[in-house]
Structure 1
Amino acid sequence: MLNYKEFELLKDLLETSCIADIAKNSKYEVFEDENEINEIIKELSSRGYLENFILSKKALSELEKYKVKNAVILAAGGDEVSAKSVYSMPKGLFVKDNETLIERQIRQLHEVGIDDITIVIGYKQELFFFLEEKWGVKLLINPDIKKNNIYSLFIAKDKLSQTYILNSDNYFTQNPFSKYEYHAFHATVYKENTKNELFIEKNDFSRITKVFSGKNSGECVYGHAFFDNNFSKTFKKYLENQIDDFRVCMLFWEEFIYKNIKNLDLYAHKYNDDFVYEFDSISQIQNINTLFLDTVSQKINNTICAVFKCQKEDIKNIQILQKGLTNILFTFEIKDEKYIFRYPGDSSQFFIYRQNECVAQKIAASSGADGTFVYIDDSGMKISKYRQNCINLADIYYKDINFMKEVARKIRLFHEAGQARNDLERYFYDPVKECEKLFFEASKIKGNLFDIFKKEWQEIRLLQKYADMDGFKKTMCHNDINIDNILLSDEGIDIIDWEFAGFNDPGYDFGRVMAGLCYECDDARIDEILEAYFSRPASADEKLHFMAYSAIHNWYYVGWALYKESINESSRDWMIFFYKQSKKLLSWCLLRYEKKYKISREF
C-alpha cells in the first residue's frame, strides 16, 4: 500500500529520474526538499517498487489501482461573460495560438491516454457539435443553463468514477493531467486582491475543510479537480438526494461539496498562479499574450491589419475598456497612434441595425459631425481615432448653454448632409414601432407591459400622429445623442456612436439635448438651442414639433431600459429618468397639439 508522497514520487519518476527536477519542477506542492525525496526513494527501493530509479512491475501494478478512467468538461455556462458579452461564443471556444481552450484540454488529456471525455454543453450548444466527430468526445446537454454548474455535474453523474472535472475556460500552461491520481482533489492557487473567487481552509494534511467567498486574498479553488471512486460514489448519492432543492441547483459544485464536507474527502493541490488561468471576466483575458485578439473572432486581426496595412505583431498595448452597455471596447496602438476597436455585443443585435449605422457613420464623417471615424463594417466592427485629453462633460452638458448650442450646430450639419441624399428611406426608423418591439420582448419576462403602461402608450401613439401631421422632412438621425456620445477635446466636438441611427424625424435627435435634467419645457435655453440649430429663432410650431419627438425619444428609452432588465442587464437608474422625462413632455405637447389642431382627446 502506497502513501500519498510515495505515490506522487512514483508518478514523477515515470517522467524523469532526476531528483533535482522532481524537487524543482513539481507541478504542485508535495515534497519539502531533495532530502525528503531521497528518503522516500530508499523506502520504495527497499519494498521492491524501484530498481535504480526505474519502476518495477510491482510498482506499475500498484499504480493501476489509481488509474484515471475519464474526464468531464463543464461547458454549459453562459450566464456571465459568454451569454451577454462581445464574444458571441462560449468561453471554451476562445482561441489561443489557433487552438480553442477546450480543444487544448482535450489534446492534453489524450497525451496522457485519457480518451473517454464527456462534455456538458448548453449555451450555444451547436458550436460544440464539431468536437464529437473531430475528437470522439461524448456530448451531454444541460437543459437549464440558468442553474449553476452543480446541475451540469448532475447531468453527467453517471460518468463519475475515477474522473477529472474540468471547466472549459481553463488554460494550463503545462499539461496538468496524469494517467494516475491518488485521491480526490481540487487545484488551488493563492490569489492576492481578487474578487468573486471561492476560498478554502484546509487541515495539516491538505484536506479541504471549508469553502467560502467574501475574502480578497488567500488560497482559492482554481482550475481542475479529480474525483476518485469513493468520492464519486458518495458525491452522487448526495447529489441525487438534494438536486431538486432550488438552493442547491444554484450552487457552484465546490459549494455543494462544502455543504456535505463531513463525508466528502477533497484535498487541495496547490499550484503556482502562473500555471493555470481561468477566464471569469473580460479583463482577465489579457492574462495570456495574444488570447484577446485571437479570441474575438479571427476577423479582428485581419481587419486591423487590412485597414492599417500592418502585421499582427505591429498591434501594441491592447487595453480592454469596461465601458458600454451594448458593446465591449478595447484600445490599441499602431505606430504610436492610439485607436479604439469596437466589437458588438450579443444583446445589441436585437435593436441595432448595422447597415443604418454604417451609412450614418460615413455621413457623419463627411459632414464634420464626427472626426474620429476610421473604419466600420456591416457586422458592427468599428475602428475610431482615440481622442486624447477629453474633457469631462459632467459639469458642461446641459449646464453650459454655449456648449449645447455647438452640439446643436453639429447635429444640423449631419441632418443637412442626410437630407441632401435621396436614397435613405430604406433605412427608415420608426421609434414608436421599435419601442413596441422592446416592450413586447420585455413582456415575456416582466408580464404584459402594454397593460401596465396602457395610458402612456395611448398618449405616445397619439402624439406621434399629431407630430407627423406637421409635415417635417425626415433625414438620417443619430437617435441616441447624450452625454456619453459627445466628445470634447483639443480637436473640438465629435458626435460618436451611431449604432441607433436611422431615417427619422430630426426632432428625435433632441430627446436629451433640449430636455435635460434641469430643463423645463418653457426654459429659455431650449429656445437658444433651437435657434443655434436653425440659424434663426424657431417658430412655436417648430418648437412644439421638436418637443414632441423628444417625448417619443424618451419613451423609446423606457422600453430600452425594460428590455435590458428583462435579459438581466442593468439599466441603472435610467428607466425612471426616461419615464419622468417622457411624461413631462407628453403633457406639455398634447395640450398644445389639441389646441393647434382643434382635436379633443378620446381617452
Structure 2
Amino acid sequence: MDRLGLVCRAILERPDITQRELAALLDVSLGTANGLIKECIERDYIEENRSLDGRDKWKLRQAGEALLEPYRVDGALIIAAGFGSRFVPLTFETPKGLLEVFGERMIERQIKQLHEAGIRNITIAVGYLKEKFEYLIDKYDVDLLYNPEYSSKNTLATIYRAGKALEGRNMYILSSDNWMRKNMYHSYECGAWYSSVLQKGETKEWCLSFNKKGRITQVKIGGRDQWVMYGPAYFSREFSKQFLPVLEAYYKTPGTEQFYWEQVYADMLEGAAKDRLWEDKELLKKAEKASGLPASRWGEIEMDVNRQPEDQVYEFENLEELRLFDTKYQKGSDNEAMGLVSRLFKVPESEIYDIRCMKAGMTNKSFLFKVGERHCICRVPGSGTELLINRKEEARVYEAIRPLEIAEHLLYINPDTGYKIADYYEGARNASAANWEDMERCMGVVRQLHQSGLRVEHSFDIRERIDFYEELCRRHGGILFEDYVEVRGWMNWLMDTLDTMNRPSCLCHIDPNVDNFLVLESGEIKLLDWEYAGMCDPIVDISMCAIYSYYGEEEMEKLLCLYLQREPEKDELFALYANAALGGFLWSLWAVYKSVLGDEFGEYTIIMYRYAKKYYRKLRKLYIQ
C-alpha cells in the first residue's frame, strides 16, 4: 500500500478527517497532504461528501475500496504460551497475559482493540496454564492453539507451530502481555512492519536501522538512543511467504531452540541465515524453493518500522515496572504468596523487592525476594502436591529436626498449605554428585540425622506409597509401562524380601537429591526440602541419593561406604540395591502422575524405571545363586 492507499484508509476510518489532521497522521507537510487528496480524487478513489452542517467530509469510492482490498487484515495471532518468570509469584497462579492493568486483563484489552478494528479471526497460542485461557473462546470467539514445546523452546517454535494460521494471510503478531494506550490496529495495513519506540540512553533491546522510506535494513542487539523493536508486528502474506520457510528451516536446525522469531529475520537481513543453514543442503534448498528467493537474496525481505510515540506501547519487564505503572500492585496484587510475605514481615507489598524466580523444583515452585536487608526464599507447593504430601507431617519433621540445625533457617511454614519461607544463603551452591568431597560431607549430614535418635509418629512406607501412586495414575488416566504388571511383581518380591530382613528404622529425609544439599560459603552443609521425611530404613536415604545422582553400581557402593565409614555387610548391600530399584519404580510412577497434571520431566521417568528393572535383575540373580 502506497501513500494514496494510506489516504484511502484514513478516510475510510475517519470520513471527517481534515487535511491538517491527515498531514499529521501521514507525517507529511500540509501541501503534500493536499496533493495526495487531489490525486486520490483524480483517480476516483475518493470524493467530497459535503455534510449538512457545511463541513467537508470524504467518501471512499468503489475504486478506493478495490485499492484497499488486498491489504485487508485477515486476523491476529496472540502469543501467550510462556511462563513469565520475571513476574513470579504472580505467574505461579496466573499467566502473564491475564494479569490486570487498571482493572483490565492485558490480553482482553488487545482483543477488544482488534474487535474495534473489525478483526475477529483471532488465534491465541497457549502453553503454560493453557486452561486459564479457555474462557476466552466463549467470551470473544477466539481459537486456542496449543504449543507443547512452550517450556523448552522460544517464540521461534511458537511461530512455526502457528504456520498454518499465518500462511497466505495478512496477520498481526501480538504478545499477550503488551499494553497499548491507544488502539493502533486497522482493518487494512500496508506491508509488513514492526512496532518501534525510541529508547534513550543505553539499551540491550533489538535496535533497528532503516532508510528514509522506513524500510528496516538491520537489526542488532544493543545500542544507544535507538529505535527498538517494541510491541506488536504485522506479517503481510508476501512477508510470510518469504519468511516462514526460512523460519521452518531454523526450527529444524539444532541449536535454535531458544531463538526468538526475530533472530531469523535479523539473520536474513544480515545474510547470516544462509550460513546457519549451510550444513543441511536439503533443508536450505527447500527453504529457498518455498520462499521463492535464493538465499543470497533473503536480505531483500521487506519489513517497515512502525514508529510509535512515547507512552503508547508498554512491555512490562518485571513486577516492579508494573507497580510503577499501576499502583494497585504496590498495595495488593491479590496473590497468595505476596500477601503471605506482606503479612509475615508486616510491610506493604511495595516494600517486597528484587523478586526473582528460582529454577522450578520437582515438587515446589520457588522465588527469591528482599524485605529491607533480609534476603529470603518462598517455596510454593506445586500442582497436585496436596495429594502427594502430608503438610502437617512435614511441619512436624521441621519442628523435630530444629535442634540439629542441619536444615534451612525456616521463618514460616503452613501445615495446611505447605507454603514455606526461609532465609536465603548468599553465595551458597548446590552439592555436586561428581565431587566426592561434597558427597562425603553430605553423607555426614545424613549420618547425623540418622544417629540423632529423633523420632516422629509417621513412617515413609514405600509399599504404601507405591500402591498410592499406582492408584493415582490409574484414576487420572496416567499411561503405565507396557511391562508394568510383570515389573510390579518384581517389586513385590523385593519388598517381601526386605520385610523378612527386619531392617532398622530411624528418621530419614527420603529425598536427599544433591540439589537439596546446600554448601554454604563457610563450608557448612544444609539439607533442604523435607516434604517426604519420615521413619524408614536409613539405607533408603543412600539409595535415593544414588539414583537421583544417576550413579552406577560402583558409585552407589562408594556412596554407601562413605555413609557407613566402613565396608558394607551383605544385607546392607541388598538393601542398597533393593531400595534403589523400589525408589526408581516409585518415582517413575510419581512422574507419570505429574505428567497427567502437565508437568514433564523428560528422560527422568525412563531412567527411574530402568533402575527398578536393572537392580531387581541383579538381586534376583544373586539371591537364586
Range class of TM-score, shorter chain:
0.5 to 0.7
1:165 aligned residue: 172
How far residue 310 of structure 1 moved from its aligned partner, in angstroms, is 1.2
1:301 aligned residue: 338
Q: Matches of 2:221 and 2:479 in 1, distance apart?
A: 35
Say which of 412, 415, 427 aligns to 1:375: 412
Q: Secondary structure at the match of 1:498?
A: coil
| Aligned amino acid, residue 493 of structure 1 | I
Q: Secondary structure at the match of 2:58?
A: helix
1:336 aligned residue: 373
| Aligned amino acid, residue 552 of structure 1 | L
Distance 1:393 1:153, change over 3 A: closer
For residues 101-500 of structure 1, what are the structure 2 equivalents within 5 Å? 101-109=106-114, 118=122, 120=124, 127-128=132-133, 130-131=135-136, 137-140=140-143, 142=145, 165-167=172-174, 169-178=176-185, 181-188=188-195, 223-225=231-233, 267-271=303-307, 288-290=321-323, 298-322=335-359, 324-325=361-362, 327-346=364-383, 357-365=394-402, 368-377=405-414, 378-390=416-428, 393-394=431-432, 398-399=436-437, 403-412=441-450, 416-417=453-454, 419-421=455-457, 424=458, 430-433=464-467, 448=482, 450=484, 454=486, 458-472=489-503, 477-489=508-520, 490=522, 492-500=524-532
Distance 1:338 1:302, change over 3 A: same
| Aligned amino acid, residue 224 of structure 1 | P
Q: What is the CA deviation profile of residues 238-285 of structure 1, one whole-angstrom value per residue up to 9, with x for unaligned ones?
A: x9xxxxxx99xxxx999999986669x975344579965679xxxx65
Say which of 540, 558, 569 aligns to 1:508: 540
Q: Matches of 1:407 and 1:363 in 2, distance apart?
A: 15
Distance 1:259 1:396, change over 3 A: closer
| Residue 576 of structure 2 corresponds to residue 549 of structure 1 | no
Q: Matches of 1:306 and 1:167 in 2, distance apart?
A: 37
Q: Matches of 2:20 and 2:122 in 1, distance apart?
A: 35
How far residue 387 of structure 1 moved from its aligned partner, in angstroms, is 0.9
1:243 aligned residue: none
Q: Matches of 1:350 and 1:260 in 2, distance apart?
A: 51
Report percent identity of matched pairs: 20
Distance 1:296 1:302, change over 3 A: closer
Distance 1:15 1:590, change over 3 A: farther
Q: What is the CA deviation profile of residues 50-105 of structure 1, one whole-angstrom value per residue up to 9, with x for unaligned ones?
A: 99xx99412788999569998855468648779xx973555532444554221232
Preserved contact between residue 15 and residue 57 of structure 2 (Cα < 8 Å): no
How many residues are treated as equivalent by the alignment? 542
Distance 1:549 1:184, change over 3 A: same
Say which of 555, 560, 584 aligns to 1:526: 560
Preserved contact between residue 187 and residue 270 of structure 1 (Cα < 8 Å): yes
Preserved contact between residue 391 and residue 488 of structure 1 (Cα < 8 Å): yes
Distance 1:64 1:182, change over 3 A: farther
How far residue 520 of structure 1 moved from its aligned partner, in angstroms, is 3.7
1:40 aligned residue: 32
Q: Matches of 2:604 and 2:123 in 1, distance apart?
A: 40
Q: What is the CA deviation profile of residues 542-578 of structure 1, one whole-angstrom value per residue up to 9, with x for unaligned ones?
A: 6654553244334545666788899794547896598
The TM-score with structure 1 as length reference comes to 0.64
Q: What is the CA deviation profile of residues 419-476 of structure 1, one whole-angstrom value per residue up to 9, with x for unaligned ones?
A: 343xx3699874544675799899977962538xx5x655433222111223346666
Q: Matches of 2:353 and 2:83 in 1, distance apart?
A: 28
Preserved contact between residue 329 and residue 340 of structure 1 (Cα < 8 Å): yes
Distance 1:394 1:132, change over 3 A: closer
Distance 1:440 1:42, change over 3 A: same
2:257 aligned residue: none
Preserved contact between residue 460 and residue 533 of structure 2 (Cα < 8 Å): no
| Aligned amino acid, residue 450 of structure 1 | Y
Preserved contact between residue 456 and residue 535 of structure 2 (Cα < 8 Å): no
Distance 1:178 1:528, change over 3 A: closer
Q: Secondary structure at the match of 2:92?
A: coil
Q: Matches of 1:76 and 1:353 in 2, distance apart?
A: 38
Q: Which structure 2 residue ranges, 5 or more long, are not aligned?
A: 150-156, 245-250, 253-259, 266-286, 294-300
Q: Secondary structure at the match of 2:322?
A: coil
Q: Secondary structure at the match of 2:176?
A: coil
Q: Which structure 1 residue ranges, 5 or more long, are not aligned?
A: 240-245, 595-599
Distance 1:73 1:470, change over 3 A: farther
Give the root-mean-square deviation of aligned CA atoms: 6.3
Preserved contact between residue 79 and residue 145 of structure 1 (Cα < 8 Å): no
Higher relative contact order (CA 8 A, sep 6+): 1
Q: What is the CA deviation profile of residues 216-256 of structure 1, one whole-angstrom value per residue up to 9, with x for unaligned ones?
A: 7899987435588xx59x999xx9xxxxxx99xxxx99999
How far residue 305 of structure 1 moved from its aligned partner, in angstroms, is 0.8
Q: Secondary structure at the match of 2:583?
A: helix
How far residue 496 of structure 1 moved from its aligned partner, in angstroms, is 0.6
Q: Matches of 2:568 and 2:117 in 1, distance apart?
A: 79
The TM-score with structure 2 as length reference comes to 0.62
Distance 1:40 1:468, change over 3 A: farther
Preserved contact between residue 181 and residue 312 of structure 2 (Cα < 8 Å): yes
Preserved contact between residue 404 and residue 513 of structure 1 (Cα < 8 Å): no
